[in-house]
Amino acid sequence: MKSDLIAYPNPVEPNSWHGLRKFTQARIALGRTGDSQPTDAVLEFGLAHAQARDAVHVPMDAARVESQLVEAGFPAVHVRSAARDRREYLVRPDYGRKLDEASRDTLRAAAVAIVDPVDIVFVVADGLSAFAPSRHAVPLLDILRRRLADWRIAPIVISLQSRVALGDEIGEIFGAEMVAMLIGERPGLSSPDSLGIYLTYRPRAGRSDAERNCISNVRPGGLDFETAAFKLHYLMENSRRLQLSGVELKDNSDLLLAAGRGIPERIEM
């Protein structure tokens, strides 16, 4: 039976860079239909924008994160910043950099119960993307743990309405040698769930951003968990050796990875 359907030509005029799209998630070489973007590109942009907004406004499921940590064998403690809700967190960044009084009491009690000095405290924090810590923090910690046999680790702190500097006060209460904040980064239109890691040596309230090291874009579509764990461990070891962090602590781990020295260690440990 002969079909009555008419085959129309593709109305999208391709871009000469179209072949480069396989190398990036960025919105390049979308093509055009007349003077407009193709319909699928417009719809994809709208979806990405909605996902980015949700990443900022949807609260982190702290109970789910704790369940993941417990299942992986990590003890956990809950805290929150001085920001009472999400709106206050967004309009008053300074509130997100300090604990509320109840959380200080909770951490002081947890610190008293620890007999040995603490080498590092990990903080899983919502930041500007609740999706990121919920999806990526526990898998990353589970991989990193293989490298930390000689490190004394405090209970994992799950923190709500948090900014990066909140980790300084948390680390100071524990008397930790260093703190690592695993926090949701500001979402982009191609990455609403990027996790950032901020490492600070001898944390205390008032530390500046220049005194921390950052590992950014940790997610399956960005910096994978194995590589992120390798880089963080590299920074931790050198921070301990040199007794510093921040602009004076250089991340040369890429040289080891390029030489293939990082991959075998990840497999053996």
From first to last of the 269 residues of the chain, give the pLDDT tens digit: 556 666 666 778 887 787 887 888 777 888 888 888 888 888 888 888 888 888 888 889 999 999 999 999 999 999 999 999 999 999 999 999 999 999 999 999 999 999 899 999 999 999 999 999 999 999 999 999 999 999 999 999 999 999 999 999 999 999 999 999 999 999 888 789 999 999 999 999 999 999 999 999 999 989 999 999 999 999 999 999 999 999 999 999 988 887 765 544 443 33
| Predicted local confidence at residue 264, as pLDDT | 43
- Tell me what pLDDT residue 265 has: 45
Q: List Cβ<8 Å contacts ≥24 apart for 24-32.
A: 25/190, 25/191, 25/221, 26/190, 27/189, 27/190
- Whether 195 contacts 133, CB under 8 Å: yes
pTM, 2 dp? 0.86
Residue 42 and residue 31: Cα distance in Å, rounded?
11
Residues comprising the chain, all counted? 269
Task: Decide the pairing of beta strands 120-125 and 76-80.
Answer: unpaired
Do the beta carbons of residue 170 and residue 121 sit within 8 Å? Answer: yes
Q: Angle 225-242/131-144 helices, nearest 10 degrees? A: 70
Q: Provide CB contacts within 8 A for 123, sequence distance 6+.
A: 156, 157, 158, 159, 162, 166, 167, 170, 179, 180, 181, 182, 183
Q: Measured on CA atoms in the order 159, 67, 57, 48, is the torsion positive or negative?
A: positive
Per-residue pLDDT at 19:
80
Comparing CA positions, the residue from 198, 192, 231 lying closest to residue 214 is 198
Partner residues linked to 223 by β-bridges: 218
**Distance between CA 76 and CA 156 in Å, rounded?**
5
Looking at 3.40.50.11240, 3.40.190.10, 3.40.50.300, 3.30.360.10, the CATH number of the domain 61-268 comes to: 3.40.50.11240
> CA-CA distance, 138 to 140, in Å (whole number)?
5
Whole-Å CA distances, 64 to 67, 68, 224:
5, 6, 22
pLDDT for the residue numbered 24 = 80
Query: Quick one: tokens of 165?
Result: 């500097």
Q: For residues 62-71, b (16+ Cβ closer than 10 Å) or e, as one string?
A: beebbebbee
Cβ-contact 166, 96 below 8 angstroms: yes
